[in-house]
Amino acid sequence: TPPESIRNFCIIAHIDHGKSTLADRMLQITGVVADRDMRAQYLDRMDIERERGITIKSQAVRMPWAVTDEAGVEHTFALNMIDTPGHVDFTYEVSRSLAACEGAILLVDAAQGIEAQTLANLYLALENDLQIIPVLNKIDLPAADPDKFAAELAGLIGGEPEDVLRVSGKTGMGVEALLDRLVETIPAPVGDADAPARAMIFDSVYDAYRGVVTYVRMVDGKLEPRQRIQMMSTRATHELLEIGVSSPEPIPTKGLGVGEVGYLITGVKDVRQSKVGDTITDQRKPAADPLPGYTDPKPMVFSGIYPIDGSDYADLREALDKLKLSDASLQYEPETSVALGFGFRCGFLGLLHLEIITERLTREFGLDLITTAPSVTYDVVTDTGETVSVTNPSEYPDGRVAEVSEPVVKVGILLPKDYVGTVMELCQARRGSLLGMDYLSEDRVELRYNMPLGEIVFDFFDHLKSKTQGYASLDYEPAGSQTADLVKVDILLQGEKVDAFSSIVHREKAYSYGTMMTERLRKLIPRQQFEVPIQAAIGARIIARENIRAIRKDVLAKCYGGDISRKRKLLEKQKEGKKRMKMVGRVEVPQEAFIAALSGD
């Protein structure tokens, strides 16, 4: 297809504003999916995506769309729709998908208005110089207020409220007009057809049958089957086994040229060999410079993952190895814990990413797991001037700390104005510093804060939702790091550290963390033959203490003089119970107690 007849676009929207539904309708109206094959959320392949109604991996689809010019001549265009993930954890993937387009549909629910992710994605789209097409969705809803939100949208991006299109992804109303508008306003791609090939990878998906399927946007030159290609970040070369377009099923082609969007297969088995953001070139005639913008995704949130049954350790390792094939951003390394045994320290892009991975491990691999409280990376400068990165609080270099810095994020919160006071209090309590506040309309406000990421990973979102009856939405992006007065709080049972409960917190919050955990454990740990002190400590200084009183547990006394088989049964039963006990020093703790204490139940 010549570049003049190509339009590359994506849909950016807040979660639940109907992106997938609109995409489905476009597939149907352009005829690439027959009505009888249509099922809801055609493009969301993963079960977990479908169940939660969220899109995790982006994909591209090519759709033909014919428009008639003034002279009555029909022209057929190739519309490439690039689906982008909507969640903050996946901002890097969103930005790569946007870089593959010339235009974006800014989709807003006509009953909800602009939300935090609408704004975050809009800013990314503007940074990529995309032509923005504002669209209100769900106008079939009785609660829709398109006039009000058309004004809000026009105010946000400039332009007139009348230019805001109104559609319903559900009924299909307005969708044809939207397709016409895409052709009319989005610029055709430009590139040098004679230059050495350059293709940008905007997605890489693991397929059990075909190996890694790489989605690319051609910028310059051409790629053809059987050619040897080179990844510019690693210099690795591969043979191009297949190249084609998705419509939405894969259709092999004789090649892809300037401005085209499609997939390619090289036989690699691991998405790390075909990284999002990397540039592909021709090995024999390589381009001088890669396309801009490549960075390795960096994990922001860390958590220990342990099998509840220690004998599942090998299965857990195997499951993580498998997930890694399809998720280049997942990181893990073995770790041992006194309380939890053998497991892995895993790094995630954010909290949703963590949740998705643990849920897949549980569901797809049938593993029973326990995860420790999420933590961020702290950079600690020790008294000898050495800098160490700490992702596991139990590795904090106690007593040798000269300075600690913690990651900071820029947070955007959108909320109805009535909740501004409550939310400001919450942000202040989480050590936020206000950057600014804007009215988007009469009753909707955007609050901007700088906040430590460590304060957000610890149930901030739940608190925000409950304090605003679910009306607030949140987005954040990395904003460097800052030094802070942080300390490590340890929890000790009879003087022995329980590593899984160590936490790095702000000095002012150390006491409340200590009392919360010691109280929680006192209620959960059964009495022993001796008294067990539970303490919270900063270094050698005890900041909180509880006691579990001793009992005399002489089970055999009960059977004194009784028959021997009953006695044996009782002993066996005790042994059984002991298997699921963990020893912390001399103290026996049922594993359930650890699980309950970690999950806060």
Q: Which ranges of 294-350 would DSSP assign to H, the alpha helix?
A: 313-326
Among 59, 168, 377, 518, binds ligand GTP (CB under 6 A): 168
Kindly tell me which residue out of 50, 170, 322, 465 binds ligand GTP, with binding defined by CB under 6 A.
Answer: 170
Spatial contact of 217 and 198, defined as CB atoms under 8 Å apart = no
State the Cα angle at 199 between 197 and 203, rounded to 5°: 160
Question: Is 20 an interacting residue with respect to ligand GTP (CB under 6 A)?
Answer: yes
Please tell me whether 575 is known to bind a ligand: no
Considering only 3, 16, 270, 463, the residue that binds ligand GTP (CB under 6 A) is 16
- Nearer Cβ to ligand GTP (179/316): 179
Q: Confirm whether residue 137 is marked as ligand binding.
A: yes
Q: Which stretch binds ligand GTP (CB under 6 A): 138-146, 314-322, 325-333, 446-454?
A: 138-146
Q: How far is the CB of 53 from ligand GTP (least distance, A)?
A: 4
Query: Which tokens hold the place of 143?
Result: 């609660």
Report, in Å, the least distance between residue 253 CB and ligand GTP: 28
Distance CA 367, CA 376 (A): 25
Asked whether position 392 contacts ligand GTP by CB under 6 A, the answer is no
**Residue 62 within binding range of ligand GTP, rule CB under 6 A:** no
CB within 8 Å of 144: residues ≥ 6 apart = 110, 111, 136, 138
Q: Does residue 271 touch ligand GTP according to CB under 6 A?
A: no
**How many helices (H) and strands (E) would you count in the chain?**
14, 31
7 binds ligand GTP (CB under 6 A): no
Contact predicate 403/379, CB 8 Å: no
Instruction: Kindly tell me which residue out of 140, 224, 315, 519 binds ligand GTP, with binding defined by CB under 6 A.
Output: 140
Q: Are 279 and 200 in contact (CB under 8 A)?
A: yes
Q: Is 16 annotated as a binding residue?
A: yes
Which of 1, 8, 30, 55 is in the footprint of ligand GTP by CB under 6 A?
Answer: 55
Least distance between ligand GTP and beta carbon 144 (Å): 8
In the numeric block, which tokens belong to residue 557? 């006394």
Among the listed ranges 49-57, 286-294, 534-542, 548-556, the one in contact with ligand GTP (CB under 6 A) is 49-57
Query: Which amino acid is it at 495?
Result: G
Do residues 458 and 504 touch, judged by C-beta distance below 8 A?
no
- In angstroms, rounded to a whole number, what is the distance separating the alpha carbons of residues 298 and 311? 31
* Binding of ligand GTP by 54 (CB under 6 A): yes
How far is Cα 103 from Cα 187, in angstroms, rounded to an integer? 7
Our finding on whether 53 is near ligand GTP (CB under 6 A) is: yes
Name which of 136 and 245 has its Cβ closer to ligand GTP.
136
Task: Determine the interface stretch with ligand GTP among 51-59, 336-344, 521-529, 576-584 (rule: CB under 6 A).
Answer: 51-59
Q: Pick from 13, 104, 175, 197 the residue near ligand GTP by CB under 6 A.
A: 13
DSSP letters for 66-130: EEE-TTS-EEEEEEEEEE---SGGGHHHHHHHHHT-SEEEEEEETTT---HHHHHHHHHHHHTTP
Residues that bind ligand GTP (CB under 6 A): 13, 15-21, 53-55, 86, 137-138, 140-141, 168-170
Question: Which residues are known binding-site members for GTP?
Answer: 16-21, 137-140
